[in-house]
Amino acid sequence: MMKKQPNQVQEAFSRQAVSYDSYEQSNEILKWMRNQVRKHTLLHLNPEDHILEINAGTGIDAVFFAALDHQVHATDLSAEMIKQLEKKVSALKLEDKITVQHCSYTELNDISKRFDYVFSNFGGLNCISDLNPVARRISELLKPGGMITLVIMPPVCPWELTLMFRGYAKTALRRWRKKGVLAHIEGIYFTTYYFTPGHVLKTFNRYNFRKIDLQGLASVSPPPYMMNFPTRYPRLYKFLTLLDERLSRFPPFNF
């Protein structure tokens, strides 16, 4: 019998938790992507903003924001990710800056305080088929004038589309499946859903959000699973990331 989606996601990321930080440190693409997300977010954060982070993982971003004197309430569905996060907070003595809660972003009703900013990195929101409940609850948790930064994976990945020319049309177009795509982490399978920016904006607009900035991420440069690319083609990779950095706010690179 297949487990329900939240249980599958929790188990997959719990299995990944212990090795997550070391994997990122060995992946130049992921490090570059995280740095781009931070640059984007810092353009909109105000000094000492209180941040709610959903799908916080091991707290890599939470620690970064805490070091900049922000208060962060970090949440995650995975119990093992939360354990790694708590160890990190304790080791770095950040208890006065980071609070931790084990819960999914679909289960935020126990949170009573309100925040200046809500942050979600690296496609955590791609694990659900309907963004409406999350958008509704986030709107309730934000202070007036509050802001959000969401990193959500879109249906278009140029590097995957090139597989069409190699005869792998099914793989090249997999992100467009309406019922989602079966993904796997650490041997656990779960469904991933890809959303166009237009769909995300339409959903959040229902709850009185408005777009301030829309930026692409790795629209030209390769995706993280091609982690050997920067080593094999360092000059080309540097050129492609430079293009990304210069074009990421312009159509079609931010779609």
Q: Would you place residue 3 in the very low, low, confident or very high pLDDT band (cuts 50, 70, 90)?
A: very low
- Retrieve residue 243's tokens: 């293009």
The mean per-residue pLDDT over the stretch 156-177 comes to 89
Q: What is the pLDDT of residue 106?
A: 94
Q: Would you place residue 7 in the very low, low, confident or very high pLDDT band (cuts 50, 70, 90)?
A: confident
3-state secondary structure the chain: CCCCHHHHHHHHHHHHHHHHHHHHHCCHHHHHHHHHHHHHHHCCCCCCCEEEEECCCCCHHHHHHHHCCCEEEEEECCHHHHHHHHHHHHHCCCCCCEEEEECCCCCCCCCCCCEEEEEECCCHHHHCCCCHHHHHHHHHHEEEEEEEEECCCCCCCHHHHHHHHHCCHHHHCHHHCCCCEEEEECCEEEEECCCCHHHHHHHHHCCCCCCCCCCCCCCCCCCCCCCCHHHHCHHHHHHHHHHHHHHCCCCCCCC
Is the CB of residue 237 less than 8 Å from the CB of residue 221?
A: yes
Q: What is the pLDDT of residue 4?
A: 64
Q: Would you place residue 1 in the very low, low, confident or very high pLDDT band (cuts 50, 70, 90)?
A: very low
> 10 Å Cβ neighbour count for 140?
12
Q: What is the pLDDT of residue 168?
A: 85
* Window from 2-16, 36-50, 142-156, 236-250 with minimum mean pLDDT: 2-16
- Retrieve residue 113's tokens: 């305080």
Q: Would you place residue 224 in the very low, low, confident or very high pLDDT band (cuts 50, 70, 90)?
A: very high
Mean pLDDT of the chain: 95
Residue identified by tokens 């990945």 is: 157
Q: Would you place residue 184 in the very low, low, confident or very high pLDDT band (cuts 50, 70, 90)?
A: confident
Q: Which domains does the chain have, with CATH numbers?
A: 5-154+194-247 (3.40.50.150)
Is the CB of residue 214 less than 8 Å from the CB of residue 249?
A: yes
Q: What is the pLDDT of residue 146?
A: 97
Q: What is the pLDDT of residue 96?
A: 97
What's the rounded Cα separation, in Å, for the pair 194 and 126?
6
Q: Would you place residue 93 in the very low, low, confident or very high pLDDT band (cuts 50, 70, 90)?
A: very high
Q: Would you place residue 166 in the very low, low, confident or very high pLDDT band (cuts 50, 70, 90)?
A: confident
